[in-house]
Amino acid sequence: MNESAYIKALESTSRLSEPAIRNAIKSLTLPTGSRVLDVPCGTGTQMQWMLEAHPKIKITGFDIAQDHIKYSKEKLTKSGKIHSCKFITGDMKKFEFDNNTFDLVWCCDGLWPGSKEMGCPSEEPYSILKDMVRITKPGGKIAILFWTSQKLLPGYPFLEATLNATKSSIMAANPHISPQLHFMRAPAWLLKAGLENIQTQTFAADINTPLNDLEKVGLHFLFDMFWGRSENEVSKETWKKYKDITNPGSEEYILNQCGYAGLLTYTMFIGIVPN
Ligand SMILES: C[S@@+](CC[C@H](N)C(=O)[O-])C[C@H]1O[C@@H](n2cnc3c(N)ncnc32)[C@H](O)[C@@H]1O
């Protein structure tokens, strides 16, 4: 995917996850003057939501993609919140921050362990997490969030279950990844990095009709991301039904059905840096 297509995917899917992420942000306690690192900040959307919920913080957006940093700067300028922001283009495997800099490190959909080819920053999460601990103040927090589940084909539970059971739909089914590196084992990663008081909380986002164009683009991106490569793993009938209900030209097009109701969840794993 080229950079602008990637930005479009982030922008459209963030409209869908918005209620879940905003609620996760609201659940945080961030006193006046708190310094927050959003890594990777992607298109800056969550920096904006963070400042809307906690206007008296200072936030640094950090991402490896120059385009994403540029896009984030423009977004935060338009929103009038740029005075509370800093931006850094860099690799999260090599933070150049001083020890004890931040009150919160926020890392959403950024620490998937896996290969470079899959777009992951590292094969294992521990070294990045240890460095996050180094740059966080004693008593500060590290919050890592992952997309954990979805239901996107209401009315077709067997079809959706069949598609979900294909290897290509499960990113984490990468055969090189051990169970310990699956994202639902993140509490153990945080403990291993030296954090205390580990808590796990899941936030849901409902997706309901009427859907606007951006939400439809986001849903098509998700259909493609989860099931776009599943054709050879399901029967011809299953694939035909899937193609029919996701074809905007078809009478069965699922996003035009009265009462479409989908959902997705994000899980936040959070821990405190010991004093
Ligand atoms: C799925 S996006 C998540 C962005 C944002 N946190 C969100 O939830 O919208 C992943 C981001 O990680 C960035 N990224 C990938 N490898 C990175 C690395 N080694 N260091 C910093 N950023 C990285 C990509 O450029 C992309 O913006």
What confidence score (pLDDT) does residue 216 get? 96
CA of 110 to the centre of ligand 1 (A): 5
**40 within 8 A of 87, measured Cβ to Cβ:** no
How many structural domains comprise the chain? 1
What confidence score (pLDDT) does residue 170 get? 79
CA of 94 to the centre of ligand 1 (A): 14
Q: Helical H runs in 44-123?
A: 45-53, 66-78
Residue 106 backbone dihedrals phi, psi, to 5 degrees: -115, 120
Q: What's the rounded Cα separation, in Å, for the pair 29 and 211?
A: 33
Ligand 1 atom closest to the CA of 14, numbered from 1? 9
What confidence score (pLDDT) does residue 204 get? 98
Range of the domain at 120: 3-272
Ligand 1 atom closest to the CA of 68, numbered from 1? 27
Tokens of 210: 């009427």
> Which residue CA neighbors atom 27 of ligand 1 most closely?
42
Ligand 1 site residues, Cβ closer than 6 angstroms? 10, 14, 40, 42, 45-46, 63-65, 68, 91-93, 108-110, 121
What confidence score (pLDDT) does residue 3 get? 61
> Which residue CA neighbors atom 2 of ligand 1 most closely?
42
What confidence score (pLDDT) does residue 173 get? 56
Interval 52-62: pLDDT, tens? 999 999 999 99
CA of 251 to the centre of ligand 1 (A): 37
Closest CA to 14 of 168, 222, 201: 222
Give the sheet arrangement for strand 35-38, strand by strand.
Answer: 85-89, 58-63, 35-38, 102-108, 136-151, 261-272, 196-208
Tokens of 184: 């639902």
Ranges in the chain, pLDDT < 70: 1-3, 171-176
- What is the pTM for the complete model shown? 0.96
What confidence score (pLDDT) does residue 119 get? 81
Longest dimension (CA), the chain: 61
Output the CA torsion sign for 12, 14, 15, 17. Answer: positive
CA of 143 to the centre of ligand 1 (A): 15
What CATH number is given to the structural domain containing 126? 3.40.50.150
Output the CA torsion sign for 232, 226, 64, 67. Answer: positive
Q: What's the rounded Cα separation, in Å, for the pair 90 and 147?
A: 23
What confidence score (pLDDT) does residue 95 get? 98
CA of 47 to the centre of ligand 1 (A): 13
